[in-house]
Chains A and B, each alone.
Chain A
Amino acid sequence: MQIEIDPLSEVALYQQLRDRVVEGIASGQLRVGDQLAPVRTLAAQFGINVATVGKAYDLLRSEGLVRTNRTSGSVVARAPHDDGTEGTGPAALEGVGAWDGAARDAWARRLATVLAEGVAQGEQDAAIDATVHAIVKSFAASRTKLTDGRQSQEGSADEH
């Protein structure tokens, strides 16, 4: 999966890397078991410090989204929960526990800040609801599209 980062942004590079990977998982571009590029390779692609990429991977690991071991490198460890959708694979690698309660609280607080911006700027509650709904739906739609694409690819591969 290709990502873009902005070297001039106020957001730290490691944070941007982490954010793009999280979005990749949510939109189904990264699936459980998908391998992430080794830290050095990724750093060389962007020409940035190895420590920056390492920090992003550390963050993803601490969030339980990525797991690293000696043999297979860093792999995506968790997937979005899709009710009733077949062929999406396991929702998480074996041994990956449920989302930590404290981490979830922290996420809720960050979300509260972001939503507060909209409220403070005078956005209607319904409009905020619609925006949030649209974002979540777009992730689900992207996942469905990618899963269908893969299934039809596998189907055509089976016919040969």
Chain B
Amino acid sequence: MSTEALTIPLALVFTVVAVLLGALPAVTRPTVPLGVSVPASRLDEPVIRRAIGRFRLLIAIAWLVCIALLVVVGLTAAPSAQLLCVVLFLIAQLVSYVVARQMILRAKHDGDWYEGVPVRMAGSVTGPSEPAPVPIGWCVASGVLLACAYVVAIVLYPSLPSRLPTHWGLDGQPNAYAAKDVWTVFGPLFIGTVVAAGLFALSFLGRIVPIRALPGADAATNARREHDMRSAMSTLIGRLMFLIALEFTWATLAPRLLPGTTGVHLGGALAVVALILAIVVLFIIRWRRLMAGDARLVAAERAARATVDTPDDDRFWKAGLLYLNRDDPALFVQRRFGVGWTVNLGRPGGVVIGVVLALVIVGVVTLALVRSALGV
């Protein structure tokens, strides 16, 4: 594949990543702007708004510079130089975050924001009142879809030609062939099955990750808040599971059932990707509403009586991203900046999972980039 062909998808990925990063402050808990723990009485400090603005500005600048660099490199340098662009992009985003949150950290430190602020940790000694939701419906739908795809592929297998197209150029013509075997026919289905199963496992993780209660709010409010958060996550995972199953089913069957209509294959695949993005946007809106609810709760609490805040736990959060608390028995906790979960690196199991996850991500990204850069 030519270098220019890689430039467009990479530019798209850069754009999506930059937009999602810019949206992260909106879905972060109100009392931890940019991953810095802040007492409720300081939420209106102008420095917080300024820091978030600075974060978005730096993200945008980094995005613009990296896109420009990508275009230049795409026209002049070897494909491997685009790998460097990706690394540079990631580092630039990280630097934007660190620089922006430093503003809040400095103001918090200089102003001694937690001085004299009463803090409490809340929790339930009788355990959760209701079990957390699991996206069982979406899981069944994905399972049925994948099972149908396997059946169709098995039925089709004998009638397929001995050489199959495995890669298509942007002009829609196949540019790579492989001998017919189980992997060339069922490969995408296998990947889809593994990813869907992984997402289902992740939904179980979502049940056990502790969601720390808001001190000051009553038990019923906290229970509802926890339920809303868990079901939002569960719904997102369920929908993603189904759409990913759909994407890989399409990738397996479309070229076999509808040969010669590459535009349709690509269009279908892109439509599912667009749906996935839409699902993510819907989730962000829903989560944003939950966080706004949190902010209202904190504000109402503050108006009604003297506040109690959650303790300043910045010391457990390296750069607000990595959680390291040797006392905490939880292996997974809610992320601080943004949505989702992260491992507790203060536990041996957490370190193992963290290292494995990092290796998998780096491995997959590198493999994908190297493969497409080499045109394999």
* Partner-B contacts on A (CB < 8 A): 1-8, 17, 20-21, 24, 30, 34-38, 40-50, 52
- Assembled-state Cα–Cα distance A1/B121 (Å): 14
Say which one of B47-55, B198-206, B261-269, B326-334 lies at the interface with A.
B326-334
Interface status of B22 (Cβ within 8 A of chain A): no
Most buried by A among B216, B219, B328: B328
Once the chains bind, are A2 and B121 in contact (CB under 8 Å)?
A: no
Q: Which residues, 100 to 142 on B, are CB-close (under 8 Å) to A?
A: 118-127
Which 10 residue pairs of A and B lie closest in terms of their CB atoms, listed nearest first? A45-B123, A2-B219, A44-B330, A37-B127, A4-B120, A49-B327, A47-B328, A44-B210, A46-B121, A4-B122
- Assembled-state Cα–Cα distance A96/B311 (Å): 39
- Assembled-state Cα–Cα distance A38/B124 (Å): 11
- Assembled-state Cα–Cα distance A48/B119 (Å): 15
Interface status of B231 (Cβ within 8 A of chain A): no
Once the chains bind, are B329 and A50 in contact (CB under 8 Å)?
A: yes
Residues of A within 8 A of B127 (CB): 35-38, 41
Closest Cβ–Cβ distance, residue A15 to chain B (whole Å): 15
Once the chains bind, are A37 and B120 in contact (CB under 8 Å)?
A: no
What are 10 A-B contacts defined by CB distance under 8 Å?
A2-B213, A3-B122, A4-B121, A6-B120, A7-B121, A7-B311, A36-B126, A37-B124, A47-B212, A48-B121
Residues of A within 8 A of B342 (CB): none
Once the chains bind, are A1 and B328 in contact (CB under 8 Å)?
A: no
Once the chains bind, are A47 and B126 in contact (CB under 8 Å)?
A: no
Once the chains bind, are A6 and B119 in contact (CB under 8 Å)?
A: yes
Total residues of chain B contacting the partner, CB 8 A: 28
Residues of A within 8 A of B118 (CB): 6
Residue of A nearest to B327 (CB): A49
Interface status of B325 (Cβ within 8 A of chain A): yes
Residues of B within 8 A of A24 (CB): 125
Interface status of B218 (Cβ within 8 A of chain A): yes
- Assembled-state Cα–Cα distance A2/B126 (Å): 8
Known A-B contacts A7-B311, A47-B327; A2 and B124 likewise in contact (beta carbons under 8 Å): yes
Q: Which of A3, A38, A42, A48 lies in contact with B327, CB distance below 8 A? A: A48
- Assembled-state Cα–Cα distance A75/B307 (Å): 33
Interface status of B33 (Cβ within 8 A of chain A): no
- Assembled-state Cα–Cα distance A36/B311 (Å): 24
- Assembled-state Cα–Cα distance A41/B329 (Å): 8
Residue of A nearest to B311 (CB): A7
Known A-B contacts A6-B118, A7-B311, A8-B311; A1 and B124 likewise in contact (beta carbons under 8 Å): yes
Closest Cβ–Cβ distance, residue B66 to chain A (whole Å): 37
Residues of B within 8 A of A37 (CB): 124-127
Q: Which of B126, B313, B329 lies in contact with A1, CB distance below 8 A? A: B126
Once the chains bind, are A4 and B215 in contact (CB under 8 Å)?
A: yes
Interface status of B308 (Cβ within 8 A of chain A): yes
Interface status of B249 (Cβ within 8 A of chain A): no
Interface status of B93 (Cβ within 8 A of chain A): no
Residues of A within 8 A of B126 (CB): 1, 30, 34-37
Residue of A nearest to B328 (CB): A47
- Assembled-state Cα–Cα distance A47/B327 (Å): 7
Q: Which of A38, A47, A49, A50 lies in contact with B121, CB distance below 8 A? A: A47
Once the chains bind, are B123 and A2 in contact (CB under 8 Å)?
A: yes
A-B contacts besides A2-B218, A41-B127, 16 pairs, CB < 8 Å: A1-B125, A2-B125, A3-B123, A7-B119, A17-B125, A35-B126, A36-B127, A37-B124, A41-B210, A43-B329, A44-B330, A45-B123, A46-B212, A47-B210, A47-B330, A48-B327
Task: Write the B296-316 contact mask toward A (1 if CB under 8 angstroms, else 0).
Answer: 000000000000100101001
Q: Which of A6, A7, A45 lies in contact with B124, CB distance below 8 A? A: A45
Closest Cβ–Cβ distance, residue B350 to chain A (whole Å): 13
Once the chains bind, are A5 and B328 in contact (CB under 8 Å)?
A: no
Task: Write the B323-362 contact mask toward A (1 if CB under 8 angstroms, else 0).
Answer: 0010111100100000000000000000000000000000
- Assembled-state Cα–Cα distance A38/B329 (Å): 12
Interface status of B222 (Cβ within 8 A of chain A): yes
Q: Which residues, 190 to 232 on B, are CB-close (under 8 Å) to A?
A: 210, 212-213, 215-216, 218-219, 222
Residue of B nearest to A24 (CB): B125
Residues of A within 8 A of B122 (CB): 2-4
Once the chains bind, are B125 and A5 in contact (CB under 8 Å)?
A: no
Most buried by A among B121, B212, B215, B327: B121
- Assembled-state Cα–Cα distance A48/B120 (Å): 13
